[in-house]
Amino acid sequence: MDMKVTKKKLGLKDKYKLMTRDLGWEPSYHSKDELYPYMNYEGIKIHDWDKWEDPFRLTMDAYWKYQAEKERKFYAIIDAHAQNNGHLNLTDARYLSALKIFLQAISPGEYAAHRGFARVGREFPGVGPQVACQMQAIDEIRHAQTQIHAMSNYNRYYNGFHAFADQRDRIWYTSVARSFFDDAMSAGPFEFMIAIGFSFEYVLTNLLFVPFMSGAAYNGDMATVTFGFSAQSDEARHMTLGLEVIKFILEQDPDNLPIVQNWIDKWFWRGFRVLGLVSTMMDYMLPKRVMSWREAWDIYGVENGGALFKDLARYGIKPPKGWDDAEKAIDHMSHQFMLGLYQWSFGTAFHAWIPSDDDMRWLSAKYPDTFDQYYRPRWEHIKKLAAAGTPFKNYGLAKLCQTCQLPTVFTEPDDPTLTCHRETVYKGEKYHFCSDGCQHIFENEPEKYIQAWLPMPQLFQDPVNGDLGEWMKWVSLLDGKDNGDYAGSEDQKNFEAWRGLATTNQ
Amino acid sequence: MQIDLRTVAIQPQRQAFDHLVRRFGDKAASRYQEGSYDIQAAENLHYRPTWDPDHQLYDASLTRIVMADWYALKDPRQFYYSTYTLTRARQQETAEANFSFVESRGLADMLPDAQRAVALNVLVPLRHAAWGANQNNTTVCGYGYGVVFTQPCMYHAMDNLGVAQYLSRLGLLLGDTEALDAGKKAWMDDATWQPLRRYVEDCLACRDPFELFVAQNLALDGLLYPLVYERIVDQHLSAQGASAVAMLTQFMSDWFDETRKWVDAVIKVAAAESEANRAVLTEWIRQWSARAASAMVPVVELALGSGADEAVGEQLEAFKARVLKTGITL
């Protein structure tokens, strides 16, 4: 064989092509439809997978090298954090409610994303998108694990973390996040990519991660800050993938536009509802607050999202249908959520509390048009009840939205004094919704959403049969430890005692 | 605020998460356990897949293998993301050093033509087989049940991609882009490669995650890796003065030694679960390994000529002995 001595100089792009898409081939022993069976049923038309532009170029050797470096740092820091009782550096143990919600509801979502990306990483008949999705699949299990590992030490000292795996599947409020990810995974591969890759990772992730990780930093939670920083470069890759996916689909065929627009409308609203919990964390649960939910929305929603949809306008994409309703909800939602969480706190594996006078002053300043008018009076009333020894608890069952699974605690977009409630009758059954957005989503795919597992009806079935104590056992909730008001809780007493040990000579 | 805690002892409230205490007792859990056990949703799944409405979102009945507890299929390496990436990062350092050793000393150019041709003809088309393996392991991860079984399959899939990329680099180093083009043409059209390509495509069409695990990771790779990397590269080529090639494939040899222990452990536990499982596994391993062996004969002929039949036959015997240790008699 006559070999050349000097090798051709390959550019980065060509080299990466040889390392990825050149590995694929046209099958001939089976049809492409047989090997990639889920490509057509959603109606998306792809004519040329080769037009896919790799959103990043990372061969496996480089991936292992970079990721191992980050892993070494991450575990060194959380080991030190555990060893030195880093949890006593928290501003206050109230902060942990945010972490408990995260571990019960969001970390399982990371795992679901791992499996979802593995599936699409197999199902797309193009090596470029397959490799990009597979890398996200392996990143997502990383995120699930680093989060569990970071919070494991908190579990040793504080309540509410210990049963996250049971509560992921059984407790009522985690079904908000669970149903979101189940919805995406049960959709076809293209919709999954728009749901998670684009809407969640690109449009909404900043609203989740930036406030969360900044909140951790502001409140002395070194463990969470560390996984946030460590995940950042992964997230950057995921965002470029999300954007490439939508552009690729839209450039392939004009018929794809209405399908994609419909998914954007749907997933924006689904995501907005899930992120509602973040609003409560930002405005109520962080002892030391980073910024208000309104301020975060103005930056990451209005500014960034606005720029994005301006950029996508050339494909004919319009901002999501629920955008205006979302904007109208921003000044209300955190208060509505926290009021709900407080009155149902007997049924949550985290604590809620009545905001202090200082907290309420801050809320008035950040929400000048809404807080004093609509929400302060309710908190003042609740405060009086608590002072009188008759704290406000709502043992009535929350009516859950069939789509987003949140209690229907929201108000009409144009009337903050009126609770928003929608109904649809489908095949003789009545279904309830929290908003127009959720009702529309149901009506587009009723056969999907009638299957939703709703945690409230479960209360009246075996093994619970309407008994609150049995229910608590079933969801692994320790009454008097995990739930209720932060004031007077074990977490509060322990944190103060331990911190006293560490900072005084008593 | 800096808190000095050297003398402060705080009594932990508990040792581990509830689900791990139930499985392993009331003691501190390892990071492998925390990152693997029961982190897949198991109950109250909301919607059936629109792409497969007859099944649940995670559905153990996608395979004929039945396990009372899928978390019995423990990975003896106890790989979770961190230990996995740290292990591979070390291996890639070695691989990188090997590639630059071969490059910097011009060892590739010194290869005798005949041996270079064998290396290119055998190894370069295998980058496509490795890509097939990547997709198959991605399928097992995507549709298998239980994290301790599916998690290592994702790592394995990424390893398969890494192998495909090392083989591509080897092709570029020994024969430039022409070698990759020729390898792909052989993979597509040469009679030598068609039984193997057919095998890989049949695997791609297989949707039973456990059968796919058997077909790809046990039957095919259990024959292909020892035949290609031990017999052809490490023994045959090295004996003929082409040990530089072995330096370029060290990753694959080390990787096979490590991963086969995991594959065997999975098969062993699944077979021990029930006679029904053992019967299904026996049937699968018989079928797929017989096909894999005959698909490998023409490939091995490229290097060993008329010695191929004997080499594959010996390897098949060794394979049977290996499988016997998992409790399955072929």
Contact B223, B316 (CB under 8 A): yes
Residue recorded with tokens 């959380």? A78
Q: Which residues of A touch B26 (CB under 8 A)?
A: none
Do B85 and A163 count as a contact with CB atoms less than 8 A apart? no
Q: Which residues of B touch A454 (CB under 8 A)?
A: none
Q: What is the CA radius of gyration of chain B?
A: 22
Residue recorded with tokens 């003691």? B27
Do B138 and A159 count as a contact with CB atoms less than 8 A apart? no
- Closest Cα to residue B193, out of B257, B124, B254? B124
Nearest by CB to A64, which of B92, B157, B184? B92
pLDDT, position B2:
65
- Closest Cα to residue A249, out of A191, A171, A295? A191
Do B5 and A183 count as a contact with CB atoms less than 8 A apart? no
Stretch among A389-403, A420-434, B269-283 having the lowest mean pLDDT: A389-403
Q: How far apart are CA B177 and CA B180, in angstroms?
A: 5
A415 touches chain B (CB under 8 A): no
Distance from CA of A308 to the nearest CA of B (A): 30
Q: Which residues of B touch A164 (CB under 8 A)?
A: 17
> Which helix H or strand E contains B162, and what residues bound it?
helix B147-189
**pLDDT tens sequence across A171-209:** 999 999 999 999 999 999 999 999 999 998 887 888 888
Mutation pick from A23, A72, A84, A88 vs chain B, by most beta carbons of B within 10 Å, is A23
Nearest by CB to A64, which of B80, B85, B188? B85
Q: How far apart are CA A297 and CA A204, in angstroms?
A: 10
Token output for A302 = 């209005």
- Assess whether the previous peptide bond of A463 is cis (omega < 30° from 0): yes
A48, with CB counted inside 10 A (0-12, 13-18, 19+), is exposed
Provide the residue count of chain A.
Answer: 506
How many CB atoms neighbour CB A461 within 10 A? 9
Query: In this structure, which amino acid lies at residue A316?
Result: G
Do B117 and A494 count as a contact with CB atoms less than 8 A apart? no
**Mean pLDDT, range B56-70, rounded to an integer:** 98
Nearest by CB to A166, which of B18, B113, B134? B18
Distance from CA of A331 to the nearest CA of B (A): 31
pLDDT, position B267:
98
pLDDT at residue B7 is higher than 60: no
Query: In this structure, which amino acid lies at residue A501?
Result: L
| Cα–Cα–Cα angle for A307, A313, A316, rounded to 5 degrees | 155
pLDDT at residue B12 is higher than 70: yes
Distance from CA of A309 to the nearest CA of B (A): 29
Which residues have C-beta within 8 Å of that of residue A317, sequence separation ≥ 6?
A246, A250, A257, A260, A261, A264, A309
B167, with CB counted inside 10 A (0-12, 13-18, 19+), is buried
Q: Could you tell me which residue, A84 or B98, shows the higher pLDDT? A: B98
Using DSSP's 3-state secondary structure scheme, residue A417 falls into strand
Mutation pick from A133, A185, A192, A478 vs chain B, by most beta carbons of B within 10 Å, is A185
Task: Give the number of C-alpha atoms closer than 13 A to the C-alpha of residue B313, restricted to the C-beta side.
Answer: 5
Residue A105 banded pLDDT, cuts 50, 70, 90: very high
**pLDDT tens sequence across B196-207:** 999 999 999 999
Q: What is the CA radius of gyration of chain A?
A: 24
pLDDT, position A6:
58
**Mean pLDDT, range A18-22, rounded to an integer:** 97
Distance from CA of B328 to the nearest CA of A (A): 30
Residue A276 banded pLDDT, cuts 50, 70, 90: confident
Q: Which residue of A has its CA nearest to B114?
A: A1
Residue A392 banded pLDDT, cuts 50, 70, 90: confident
Query: In this structure, which amino acid lies at residue A325?
Result: D
Supply the ipTM of this predicted assembly: 0.97
Residue A160 is given by DSSP the state T
Contact B65, B281 (CB under 8 A): yes
Q: How far apart are CA A292 and CA A282, in angstroms?
A: 6
pLDDT at residue A5 is higher than 60: no
Do A149 and B31 count as a contact with CB atoms less than 8 A apart? yes
* Beta-sheet pairing, A422-426 with A411-412: unpaired
Q: Which residues of A touch B151 (CB under 8 A)?
A: 141
**Mean pLDDT, range A51-80, rounded to an integer:** 96
Q: Which residues of A touch B22 (CB under 8 A)?
A: none
As a whole number, the mean pLDDT across chain A is 94
**Mean pLDDT, range B161-190, rounded to an integer:** 98
pLDDT at residue A473 is higher than 70: yes
Mutation pick from B62, B85, B140 vs chain A, by most beta carbons of A within 10 Å, is B85
Q: Which residues of A touch B157 (CB under 8 A)?
A: 118, 134
**Mean pLDDT, range A466-495, rounded to an integer:** 95
Which residues have C-beta within 8 Å of that of residue A25, sequence separation ≥ 6?
B128, B184, B187, B188, B197
Do A18 and B80 count as a contact with CB atoms less than 8 A apart? no
Do A165 and B120 count as a contact with CB atoms less than 8 A apart? no
pLDDT at residue A500 is higher than 60: yes
**pLDDT tens sequence across A289-333:** 999 999 999 999 899 889 999 999 999 999 999 999 999 999 999
pLDDT, position B3:
61
CA distances (Å), origin B77, targets B83, B261, B265: 9, 8, 10
Q: Which residues of A touch B191 (CB under 8 A)?
A: none
Mutation pick from A64, A181, A445, A482 vs chain B, by most beta carbons of B within 10 Å, is A64
Do B201 and A27 count as a contact with CB atoms less than 8 A apart? yes
Distance from CA of A192 to the nearest CA of B (A): 11
Distance from CA of A385 to the nearest CA of B (A): 32
pLDDT, position A463:
80
pLDDT at residue A1 is higher than 60: no
Token output for A309 = 């949809």
Q: Could you state, in order of their start, the residue ranges of all structural domains in chain A?
A: 31-347, 354-391
**Mean pLDDT, range B95-99, rounded to an integer:** 98
Residue recorded with tokens 């370029």? B248
pLDDT, position B1:
61
Do B41 and A178 count as a contact with CB atoms less than 8 A apart? yes
**pLDDT tens sequence across A333-373:** 999 999 999 999 999 999 999 999 999 999 999 999 999 99
**Mean pLDDT, range A76-97, rounded to an integer:** 94
Dump the DSSP string for B56-84.
-SS-GGGSS---S-GGGS--TT---HHHH
CA distances (Å), origin B320, targets B213, B281, B289: 17, 13, 9
A191, with CB counted inside 10 A (0-12, 13-18, 19+), is buried
Query: In this structure, which amino acid lies at residue A235?
Result: E
CA distances (Å), origin B307, targets A464, B193, B236, B237, B303: 69, 18, 11, 14, 9
Do A59 and B165 count as a contact with CB atoms less than 8 A apart? yes
Using DSSP's 3-state secondary structure scheme, residue A429 falls into strand
Contact A191, A42 (CB under 8 A): yes
Mutation pick from A3, A117, A450, A474 vs chain B, by most beta carbons of B within 10 Å, is A3
Contact A255, A184 (CB under 8 A): no
**Mean pLDDT, range B154-168, rounded to an integer:** 98
Size of interface A-B (CB pairs under 8 A): 270
The domain A31-347 is classified under which CATH number: 1.20.1250.20, 2.40.160.40, 1.10.620.20, 1.20.120.1200? 1.10.620.20
Q: Which residue of B has its CA nearest to A2?
A: B113
Token output for A162 = 């210990």
- Closest Cα to residue B44, out of A258, A171, A264? A171
Q: Could you state, in order of their start, the residue ranges of all structural domains in chain B?
A: 78-324
A473, with CB counted inside 10 A (0-12, 13-18, 19+), is middle
Distance from CA of B57 to the nearest CA of A (A): 7
A339 touches chain B (CB under 8 A): no
pLDDT, position A86:
94
Q: Which residues of B touch A141 (CB under 8 A)?
A: 35, 81, 151, 154
B-facing residues of A in 470-489 (CB < 8 A) are 476
Q: How far apart are CA B257 and CA A360, in angstroms?
A: 63
A378, with CB counted inside 10 A (0-12, 13-18, 19+), is middle
pLDDT at residue B182 is higher than 60: yes
pLDDT at residue A484 is higher than 70: yes
pLDDT at residue B6 is higher than 60: no
Distance from CA of B150 to the nearest CA of A (A): 9
pLDDT at residue A82 is higher than 90: yes
Q: Which residue of A has its CA nearest to B151?
A: A141
pLDDT, position B71:
98
Residue recorded with tokens 């990483």? A121
* Beta-sheet pairing, A415-419 with A411-412: antiparallel
Nearest by CB to B18, which of A5, A60, A476? A476
Largest Cα–Cα separation, chain A: 94
Q: How far apart are CA B48 and CA B51, in angstroms?
A: 9
Q: How far apart are CA A110 and CA A205, in angstroms?
A: 12
Q: Which residues of B touch A88 (CB under 8 A)?
A: 3, 5
Q: How far apart are CA B3 and CA B53, in angstroms?
A: 56
Instruction: Tell me the helix, strand and coil percentages in chain A, rounded to 5.
Output: 65, 5, 30
Q: How far apart are CA A23 and CA B320, in angstroms?
A: 31
Residue A412 is given by DSSP the state E
In percent, the amount of chain A with pLDDT more than 90 equals: 86
pLDDT, position A3:
44
The class (CATH top level) of B78-324 is mainly alpha
A85 touches chain B (CB under 8 A): yes
